[in-house]
Structure 1
Amino acid sequence: MPRRRIGFWYRFAAVICKPPLVVLIKRDWRGMENIPADGGFITAVNHNSHVDPFAYAHYQYNTGRVPRFLAKSGLFKKGFVGAAMRGTGQIPVYRESTDALSAFRAAIDAVERGECVAFYPEGTLTRDPDGWPMTAKTGAARVALQTKCPVIPVAQWGCNELLPPYAKKPHLLPRKTHHVLAGPPVDLSRFYDKEMTAEVLKEATEVIMAAVTRQLEEIRGEKAPATPYDPRRERIEQRRRTQAQTRRGERAPDGQHDEQPQQAEGQST
């Protein structure tokens, strides 16, 4: 299936965005040969900075295969930004509405038309304290198993040093390097003949994220944690810790409940 033309809006966005990116960020881009020349496919990309969608789009734009990102629906309603989002073929995500599944259907349609859909499977900036990919949502795996399209694992690193997660001010100097490494397609063939259950989607997602993490390990030259950071598990553990502290405080004599939990914690470390 032929690739879609880049089009006016994507070229116009490149004219605006590429100059500041070139000035602010050095580039170490590898693995472009793994980006399919033709046909629909998915890229699964780790997410560690609000800058990295622009920097990664620059990387893939230079391959000739522009990505279609899934983005919050509100961005499509904001004047020039909305016009650019629509014109570049980005895919709106409607959360907590009757249109919540439309992004999934639109992603499938785009892949079947021969386009690339870029997923951030984590769904948000990683909350792993050291910037490693955390547990992911199943959307990318669902589209991949539905279409049987290639899934290219992509890792990036460096924009998080320019603008750390959830930071408001960039660190412009010294000039940072945007590292990108795209790997070969992830083999999901063993899932193709299985019913698309929650367990199958979870397992396929873990295979995809393991491939992304291996690319990031190569970029960083170190090993990732054996178990990915899980925000839900962390919330549960935090809730348990809070409840335990509350119970200890309730049982403590008057005037001592502020000190005893701290002493207990200090003794356990």
Structure 2
Amino acid sequence: MSRRRIGFWYRLAAVIAKPPLLLLFKRDWRGMENIPADGGFITAINHNSYLDMFSYGHFQYNTGRVPRFLAKAALFKTPGIGILLKGTGQIPVYRESTNAFGAFRAAVAAVERGECVAFYPEGTLTRDPGMWPMTAKTGVARAAMLTKAPVIPVAQWGANLAMPPYAKENKFSFFPRKTLQVLAGPPVDLDRFYEQEATPEVLKEATEAIMAAITALLEELRDEKAPDNTYDLREIRAQQRRKAAEEGTK
């Protein structure tokens, strides 16, 4: 999809979403020149607030290349929201069902049609105590290896200061106005993976390369160094299950 083909539904969504974003937040946008002008591509973004989809979406809308998000299927049944999601071409994700792989196939098809598909590689809001990216799932690397499309890493910060992940309503803080920072980097160099078989090990290594690029951009935004060890949600949960099992045997 070129810069000129945004479409009615995306423009309508922008009319609804942009005024409150402009009113409530300041912006610090960098790296728009790294968003491809033409052809299919993938963006890989860190996720630290329910609000950051709008922050990133606003940023990319202004580049002229609108993203297709992978969104929970239940949202498509929500009155009003569902119409906008369908109209703007977002991709429903049916978790824990026989249709779960359909979202991945739809994402790959969209990239091959020349569109942008936005991946949150972590799969959920970060649980890292310092709000750094967690260990990611391999879907974004798998899509990159199938399409060989550019993967643009994107880091964002600021939405989490207004709407922290998993915070209760009384912890929301919109004033004083926060700055929504978004930084897009150059395509991640994945050439060394393209001629390899997509084994779990290769996909893991490619995913780590993508996440390293995102983390480096976030370090630039935050002007601080990320921890040496990436927070691994699956390992943390496994440890919790082992601990619960051990306590249950006492």
Whether these two folds match at TM > 0.5 is yes
The residue type equivalent to 1:222 in the other structure is E
Instruction: Give the conservation status (yes or no) of the 8 Å contact 1:70–1:90.
Output: yes
Please state whether the residue corresponding to 2:165 is helix, strand or coil.
coil
The residue type equivalent to 1:193 in the other structure is E
**What corresponds to 1:183 in structure 2?**
185
**What corresponds to 1:129 in structure 2?**
129
Report the Cα distance in structure 1 between the residues aligned to 2:132 and 2:49, rounded to whole angstroms.
Answer: 12
Instruction: Give the conservation status (yes or no) of the 8 Å contact 1:138–1:201.
Output: yes
**CA RMSD after TM alignment:** 1.4
**What corresponds to 1:154 in structure 2?**
154
**What corresponds to 1:37 in structure 2?**
37
1:225 to 210, 227, 241: 227
TM-score (norm 1): 0.89
**What corresponds to 2:139 in structure 1?**
139
In the TM superposition, what whole-angstrom CA distance separates every residue of 1:69-122 from its partner, at most 9, and x where no partner exists?
000111112232111100001001111211111111111111011110000000
**What corresponds to 1:260 in structure 2?**
none
In the TM superposition, what whole-angstrom CA distance separates every residue of 1:219-263 from its partner, at most 9, and x where no partner exists?
00111111210011112223344455566xx4xxxxxxxxxxxxx
Please state whether the residue corresponding to 1:101 is helix, strand or coil.
helix
Report the Cα distance in structure 1 between the residues aligned to 2:96 and 2:248, rounded to whole angstroms.
Answer: 33
2:207 to 192, 205, 208: 205
Instruction: Give the conservation status (yes or no) of the 8 Å contact 1:3–1:114.
Output: no
Q: Cα–Cα, structure 1 residues 4 and 203, in superposed 2: closer, same or farther, change >3 Å?
A: farther
**What corresponds to 1:173 in structure 2?**
175
Ranges in structure 2 where 5+ consecutive residues have no aligned partner: none
Instruction: Give the conservation status (yes or no) of the 8 Å contact 2:2–2:65.
Output: no
In the TM superposition, what whole-angstrom CA distance separates every residue of 1:185-209 from its partner, at most 9, and x where no partner exists?
0000001111111111111101000
**What corresponds to 1:266 in structure 2?**
none
Q: Cα–Cα, structure 1 residues 4 and 114, in superposed 2: closer, same or farther, change >3 Å?
A: farther
Q: Cα–Cα, structure 1 residues 98 and 237, in superposed 2: closer, same or farther, change >3 Å?
A: closer
Ranges in structure 1 where 5+ consecutive residues have no aligned partner: 251-269
Report the Cα distance in structure 2 between the residues aligned to 1:73 and 1:244, rounded to whole angstroms.
Answer: 37
Instruction: Give the conservation status (yes or no) of the 8 Å contact 2:190–2:206.
Output: yes
Q: Cα–Cα, structure 1 residues 162 and 2, in superposed 2: closer, same or farther, change >3 Å?
A: closer
Report the Cα distance in structure 2 between the residues aligned to 1:116 and 1:168, rounded to whole angstroms.
Answer: 33
**What corresponds to 1:24 in structure 2?**
24
**What corresponds to 1:9 in structure 2?**
9
Shift of 1:163: 0.3
TM-score (norm 2): 0.95
Report the Cα distance in structure 2 between the residues aligned to 1:205 and 1:179, rounded to whole angstroms.
Answer: 23
Counterpart mapping for 1:50-199 below 5 A: 50-169=50-169, 170-199=172-201
Instruction: Give the conservation status (yes or no) of the 8 Å contact 1:4–1:115.
Output: no
The residue type equivalent to 1:128 in the other structure is D
In the TM superposition, what whole-angstrom CA distance separates every residue of 1:164-197 from its partner, at most 9, and x where no partner exists?
0011322012111111110000000001111111
Q: Cα–Cα, structure 1 residues 4 and 112, in superposed 2: closer, same or farther, change >3 Å?
A: farther
Instruction: Point out the structure with max Rg over C-alpha.
Output: 1
